[in-house]
Structures are given as C-alpha cells and as structure tokens.
Amino acid sequence: MRNEASPLRGRIAGELDRLRREQLLRTLDCPAGIPLTSNDYLGLARDGRLASATADAIREIGRVGSTGSRLLAGNSEDWEQAEREFAAFAGTEAALYFSSGFAANLGLLGALVRPGDIVFSDSLNHASLIDGIRLSGANKVIYPHGDLARLETALARHQSDPGAKLIVTESLFSMEGDLAPLARLAELGREYGAELIVDEAHAVGVFGPEGRGLAYEAGLANEILAVVHTCGKALGSAGAFVCSGGALRDFLVNRARTFIFSTAAPPYLAHQIRAAVGLARAMDAERAHLQTIAAALREGLRSEGFDVRASASQIVPVVAGASEAALAWAESLREDGFAVRAIRPPTVPEGTARLRLSLTAALGGEEVQRLLRACVRARGRSRLAVAARESGA
Ligand SMILES: *Cc1c(COP(=O)(O)O)cnc(C)c1O
C-alpha cells in the first residue's frame, strides 16, 4: 500500500476534513426505526406478491443476467413487452428502459440537446437532470424554483435564438414535496416554441389515475416530448422508462450512450416491473391513505409553526435552517424511534437544512401523530441546547 503524500490523496483527506468541520459529512447508515426516508411509498418493495412474481420469472427464464447490451445479446421479448406495457400505462406511444433513473436522464438529455440549444431548468431539478444538461453542452437557463414569470421572461428573451429550446422539470419535487404547474409549463412551451421534459420519479405510482403520474393526470403525456418514470421508488423495483413517441425511442436506441454502452438489466426485472405496475394500479386505497396522512402531518406541523414549504404530497420537508439544527432534530427523532435524515447543503440551498419526511402507506394515523409530537420535541430540545451553549453553561 502506498502512503506517501500525493496531490490526490491530499485532496481526499482535505475534502473530508472540510466536510467534517462544516457538519456536512455524509455517512452510510443502516436506518433503524420507523422509516421516514424510504421512497417505497406503496410498500411494494416488501410486497410478497412482487417477490413471488420475481422468483417465478427467474425460474421460467432460467437465466439471471442479460449477458449484454440491448443492442447485442441483452435484448429480449421480456423487455420489449415491458416497454410496450409501460408506454400504455404512461399514456405514450413508446417507452425505453434504462437501468436507473440517473442513467435515463443522462442518456436522454445527453443525446437530445447540444451546444447552441437552450435548456430552461428549474433550480431544484434533480442532480441527474442537471448532469444530463451539463453533459449535453447545451446552454442552460436556471429559473428560480416554480417561478413561471421568470421562466416566461427567459423564454421571451431567447425567443429568436437559433437553437432548440427545452424546458426540464420534475413533476413532484423531491426536496420540497410540491408539484410543478405542468399545464402552465406546457402552455409556455407551446407559446415560445420550447419542448418539455418531465421527470415523474416521485409521482409515478402515487399520483394520477391508477398511479400513472401527474403528466397523465393533466392530459399531457402525449404532448410532452418525454416523461421519465423511475421504477425504484413507489414501484418498489429499479430502473426507469423514458416514455415518448416512437421516433424519440428510436433516436435514443441510437444515441443515448447510457443505454447503448451498458449491459441490459436482467430480464426477470422486466417481469418484476410489469407485476409492480399491475399491483400499483390497483392500490387506490393506499394512495388515498397516503394523501390523508400526509395532509394531516402537513397541517399539524404548520399549526405548530414549522416551515413545511409548499409541500402538497407524501414528501414533507421540515426546515430547520442551519445544518447543525437539522442534525440535532434528526438525532432527537431517532431517539424517539423514527429513522430520519438531515438534508443539508449542497442538496438543498444554504440556510434551509431540513428533515425530509417521506411518508409511506404503511404508516398509521397514530404513528403520524406521534411523529408530529416528536418534531415538536426535537425543536424544543435543540433550542434548549443552543440556549445552554450561548449562556456558556
Ligand atoms: C431518484 C430520482 C432520479 C434517479 O432515479 P434512480 O433510479 O434512483 O437512479 C431521477 N430523478 C429524480 C427526480 C429522482 O428523484
């Protein structure tokens, strides 16, 4: 083992020291307690029916790995069928599966736009969307989160620029829990000649008729250039579909590097996802329960004076402010039996460190009331600790 100093080893140690000093160091924990960080909104990841469907598929296929890229040995009717079915579910003509949502967004944006084009991107868009835009080399205009007036001004300013225009947004924002005004975004796109891409990672399975997502619910699935649905959250599985017209699918098969140069996902996953969609479609009761407990939590927190932003979903942020406060709140909630994590910069803007409570349909109403009381206690404990420190005690 080498241990002499080198610039890279110095950088690694220096960066870790800095993160530790600034209370920003992230560590990998195995959460214990009532889970409030899970994206398994419908409980499908633990659903025995999904596990059996997967085991059956492995047995029937008689093979686990896909053995190659989709363009080589990795393609199979398993995936073709899953894509046709998912497109029908999403309300689009076609769909193409990627092995993760991150890969889908990198592949899609990296292939679609290029230098000279302009991408209008919400300031709170997911890292995979940001990196996809970066990778493409297109110019980007970041508009303040949800600020359509600012977006419109930017669209107008660039209206006569020669390149292609694209608006990119999440439908349900993962750190704020609020919903994008999709109908108005589509309207602006039409008005100013910009296409629209919508990432439904946190909405699929949870919103829309049978969990088909917010673009479907708004009647826009067919109009939007591409809707990205991930399968690792409410669908309890893994990967993501880019849902679009047939031409965009053909284009991605030829141009999306994360699709072309990556081993196809195992064919049993295609069956798992088909089963997951089938189960999710029938989970209206779970969806309704989830919205009921989320509304109760938001209202309870608001009436206790907490800042839960504009949350309108199963994702409820509780803003603490400083990273240190968010860490203390999370620790207090853990002591009360709730598995939560503090979300700190750079994931969220400076000064808005927070707890991100992510509810699942498995939670009961009584647990949500206990959670509410635990939040009040966490804030109280943390204020006491600050007061004690300031008085030099
Ligand atoms: C989680 C997430 C992704 C990434 O999907 P993975 O399948 O986890 O790679 C992409 N976009 C958004 C908005 C997400 O929340």
Amino acid letter, residue 74: G
Give the pairing of strands 165-170 and 118-122. parallel
Quote the DSSP letter at residue 36: S
Q: What is the pLDDT of residue 1?
A: 61
Quote the DSSP letter at residue 116: T
Q: Whose CA is nearest to atom 15 of ligand 1?
A: 201
User: Which ligand 1 atom lies nearest to the CA of residue 128?
Assistant: 10
Q: What Rg, from alpha-carbon coordinates, does the chain have? A: 22
| CA–CA distance, 84 with 235 (Å, rounded to integer) | 17
Q: Which of 128, 175, 258 has the most ligand 1 atoms within 8 A of CB, as the residue to mutate?
A: 128
Q: What is the pLDDT of residue 328?
A: 95
Q: CB under 6 Å to ligand 1: residues?
A: 100-102, 105, 126, 128, 170, 174, 199, 201-202, 230, 232, 240
Q: What is the pLDDT of residue 383?
A: 87
Q: What is the pLDDT of residue 2?
A: 67
Q: Are 208 and 240 in contact (CB under 8 A)?
A: no
SS3 362: coil
Which residues form the catalytic set? Answer: 39, 126, 170, 174, 199, 202, 233
Q: What is the pLDDT of residue 3?
A: 63
Give start-end residues of each CATH 3.40.640.10 domain in the chain: 63-281
Ligand 1 centre to CA of 302 (Å) is 28
Q: Whose CA is nearest to atom 2 of ligand 1?
A: 201
Per residue in 95-144, pLDDT (tens digit) is 999 999 999 999 999 999 999 999 999 999 999 999 999 999 999 999 99
| CA–CA distance, 355 with 167 (Å, rounded to integer) | 29
Q: Whose CA is nearest to atom 6 of ligand 1?
A: 101
For 140, the enclosing helix (H) or strand (E) is: strand 139-143
Give start-end residues of each CATH 3.90.1150.10 domain in the chain: 29-44+284-392
Q: What is the pLDDT of residue 135?
A: 98
Ligand 1 centre to CA of 283 (Å) is 22
Q: Are 182 and 160 in contact (CB under 8 A)?
A: no
| CA–CA distance, 216 with 224 (Å, rounded to integer) | 10
Q: Which of 40, 99, 105, 126 has the most ligand 1 atoms within 8 A of CB, as the residue to mutate?
A: 126
Q: Whose CA is nearest to atom 14 of ligand 1?
A: 201
SS3 294: helix
Pick out the chain residues at pLDDT < 70.
Answer: 1-3, 393
The burial of 95, by beta-carbon neighbours within 10 Å (0-12 exposed, 13-18 middle, 19 or more buried), is given as buried
* Domain 63-281: top CATH class: alpha beta
CA distance from start to end of the chain: 47
Q: Kindly report the CATH number that applies to the domain delimited by 29-44+284-392.
A: 3.90.1150.10
| CA–CA distance, 206 with 228 (Å, rounded to integer) | 15
